[in-house]
Amino acid sequence: MIEEPVEIYNKSLDILSRREHSKKEILDKLSKKFSNSDLIELTIQKLEDNNLINDARFSEHYVAARKRKGFGPKKISYELLSKGVESFIANDAISESGEWKELAHQVFNKKFRDGVSVDFKLKAKQKNFLINRGFSFTEIESVFN
């Protein structure tokens, strides 16, 4: 099967029509479907030139979506890095996203309606919940103080 540049470009537009993707995500999806890596690279370059893929914009949308779901900056940063976003872009998107201590309080209060436990084991469980959500030590301590 001969792969046409138009076919690869149309597939990439189809992928992007559903949601924002990082450059690496598009590359991975196109590589699974098409074997010509040169045409894939040209397609990705064309998408970047037309501002259809932009890792900074993707990061902003991703951070906002994950923040709405109650995840902290460490977890979001890890996820962005695994999606091929460069660390400085991920860090910029996270730092521009606003206050994380307030989100840690909201997530904690939603999960633990009775508040901070006096029992040591339960308190450790509450802290582990916030750690697993990706909040930093200072954000977690702000909840418990």
Mean pLDDT across the stretch 46-65?
Answer: 96
CA distance 111 to 118: 16
Is the domain of 61 the same as that of 73? Answer: yes
Is the domain of 90 the same as that of 62? Answer: yes
Is the domain of 131 the same as that of 119? Answer: yes
Render pLDDT for 89-102 as a digit per residue (tens, 0 to 9).
999 999 998 889 99
Mean pLDDT across the stretch 51-78?
Answer: 97
Is the domain of 17 the same as that of 30? Answer: yes
Q: Is the pLDDT of residue 71 over 70?
A: yes
pLDDT category at 9 given cuts 50, 70, 90 is very high
Is the domain of 81 the same as that of 110? Answer: no
Tokens of 49: 């030139």
Is the domain of 45 the same as that of 13? Answer: yes
Q: Is the pLDDT of residue 1 over 60?
A: no
Instruction: Using alpha carbons only, give the angle 38, 18, 69 rounded to the nearest 5 degrees.
Output: 120
Is the domain of 43 the same as that of 25? Answer: yes
Render pLDDT for 16-26 as a digit per residue (tens, 0 to 9).
999 999 999 99
pLDDT category at 3 given cuts 50, 70, 90 is low
Predicted model pTM: 0.90
The CATH number of whichever domain residue 107 belongs to comes to: 1.10.10
CA distance 89 to 47: 19
Amino acid code (one letter) for 3: E
CA distance 29 to 111: 36
CA distance between the termini of the chain: 64
Determine the structural domain holding residue 20 and report its residue range. 5-49
Q: Which residues contact 29 (CB under 8 A, 6 or more apart)?
A: 15, 21
Residue (of 19, 18, 42) closest to 30 by Cα position: 42
Is the domain of 92 the same as that of 112? Answer: no
In the chain, the number of structural domains is 3
Question: Would you state the pLDDT for residue 141?
Answer: 95
Q: Is the pLDDT of residue 7 over 60?
A: yes
Question: Would you state the pLDDT for residue 43?
Answer: 95
